[in-house]
Amino acid sequence: MRDLITSIDSTRLGFFKSILDEAEIACFIRNETTAQLTNIFIGPLQATLCLVNDHDYEQASTLLRPHQTEGTCAAEEWLCPVCKESNPASFELCWKCQTAQHE
Confidence of residue 96 (pLDDT cuts 50, 70, 90): confident
Does position 93 have pLDDT exceeding 80, yes or no?
yes
Question: What one-character DSSP code corresponds to residue 75?
Answer: S
All domains of the chain in start order, with CATH: 2-69 (3.30.70)
Q: Write down the pLDDT at residue 103.
A: 61
Q: Could you read off the pLDDT of 61-86 as tens digits, one per residue?
A: 999 988 876 544 444 778 889 998 88
